[in-house]
Amino acid sequence: MRGDHWEMLHGRYQDVMNDVTCDAWIGDTPYSSTTHSGHDAMTESDNAKMRRAITYPAWTPDDVRECVSFWSPRTRGWFVTITDDVLAPHWRAALADAGRYAFSPLAYVVHGSRFRMAGDGPAQWSLWIVVARPKREPYSKWGALPGAYVQPAGELSGHRAGDHKREIGGKDDWIMRRLVADYSRPDDVVCDPCAGWGTTGAAALREGRSFIGSESRESAFAVSCKRLSETSFQPSLFNPSKAKQAKITLDLP
Ligand SMILES: C[S@@+](CC[C@H](N)C(=O)[O-])C[C@H]1O[C@@H](n2cnc3c(N)ncnc32)[C@H](O)[C@@H]1O
């Protein structure tokens, strides 16, 4: 049934995803050490008020290149990742070098977002979404897509909004559902190899896609499996006309 198919693999994607291919790659990979250390620089009370410290390692430009060279040949359609301002140009360049058409990074704005503020100026970092498509039809005829993502005020995920103990992290449902709706088609296989607590997977199932993911940390892996087992198809929040569009089937080059 639509929105029912998912699989999560426990381990590093390099070790457990060798045989996987997908229609759309939609991820939220670790950010640069600049962002991670900004998090570390927050006071304990900032952290308690906002978010927990990031406990997994930051990524370097080499990690970005490794990820693109692993995944670009395994991804038939769009490649989409949320990242920070340091790594965004590296993603774009790596995706272009892999033969894709890589767009200018799209700003992702979350109203009221205060994290990474030391109190002496504006937020120390910003979120960007790097998107790239194959240089061929039908992807070159996909249609107009937003040039930025502005999350409506108050759009926290139900999952996190009720999470008073802050045991669960991850992106808000709104942005992941939006990206799934914009960059994949109904019944596509969406992949997120750095799945964290499973927000992309939950978004994919709700939007009527299948999902495959991996996660190296056992605790996050367990949370994502539980979350996906409790998630199913819901009528799309966005682009209802897209739900009528047929799935695009292409062979890998
Ligand atoms: C930014 S978090 C993802 C959060 C997720 N988008 C969510 O909303 O729940 C990045 C995740 O990538 C995982 N990760 C980093 N490198 C990995 C690798 N090589 N293979 C699998 N998982 C990896 C980290 O453990 C971390 O949980």
Task: Please indicate, yes or no, if residue 252 is contained in any of the structural domains.
Answer: no
Task: Please indicate, yes or no, if residue 71 is contained in any of the structural domains.
Answer: yes
Q: Is the CB of 56 under 6 A from ligand 1?
A: yes
Give the torsion through C-alpha atoms of 54, 29, 87, 189, to 10 deg: -160
Distances, alpha carbon 113 to alpha carbons 63, 121, 154, 155, in Å: 27, 14, 10, 11
pLDDT digit string (tens) for the chain, length 253 residues: 566 799 999 999 999 999 999 999 999 999 998 888 765 555 555 555 555 567 799 999 999 999 999 999 999 999 999 999 999 999 999 999 999 999 999 999 887 665 545 556 666 668 999 999 999 999 999 989 999 999 887 776 555 555 444 456 688 889 999 999 999 999 899 999 999 999 999 999 999 999 999 999 999 999 999 999 998 877 666 654 444 444 444 444 4
What is the CA(29)–ligand 1 centre distance, in A?
6
Task: Please indicate, yes or no, if residue 98 is contained in any of the structural domains.
Answer: yes
In residues, how long is the chain? 253
- The domain spanning residue 168 has which CATH number? 3.40.50.150
Task: Please indicate, yes or no, if residue 213 is contained in any of the structural domains.
Answer: yes
Cβ atoms of residues 58 and 36 within 8 Å: yes
Q: Is the CB of 157 under 6 A from ligand 1?
A: no
Q: Is the CB of 216 under 6 A from ligand 1?
A: yes
Q: Is the CB of 55 under 6 A from ligand 1?
A: no
Task: Please indicate, yes or no, if residue 157 is contained in any of the structural domains.
Answer: yes
Note if the bond before 138 is cis, omega within 30 degrees. yes
Q: From CA 177, how far away is CA 192, in angstroms rounded?
A: 13
Query: Is 37 strand, coil or helix?
Result: helix
The whole-number pLDDT of residue 44 equals: 56
Cβ atoms of residues 77 and 188 within 8 Å: yes
8-state DSSP, 22: B
Closest residue by Cα to atom 13, ligand 1, is 194
Task: Please indicate, yes or no, if residue 182 is contained in any of the structural domains.
Answer: yes
Cβ atoms of residues 145 and 171 within 8 Å: no
Six-digit token pair at 26?
């939609």
Q: Is the CB of 213 under 6 A from ligand 1?
A: no
Task: Please indicate, yes or no, if residue 159 is contained in any of the structural domains.
Answer: yes
Provide the domain limits for residue 40.
6-244
Give the CB-side neighbour count of residue 32, counting CA atoms within 13 A.
Answer: 17
Task: Please indicate, yes or no, if residue 93 is contained in any of the structural domains.
Answer: yes
Q: From CA 105, how far away is CA 177, in angstroms rounded?
A: 19
Between strands 210-215 and 6-10, the pairing is parallel
Paired strand residues for 24: 190
User: DSSP secondary structure string, 105-158?
Assistant: PEEEEETT--TT--SSSS-S--EEEEEEEESSTTGGGS----SEEEEPTT---H
Between strands 100-102 and 106-110, the pairing is unpaired
Our count of domains for the chain comes to: 1
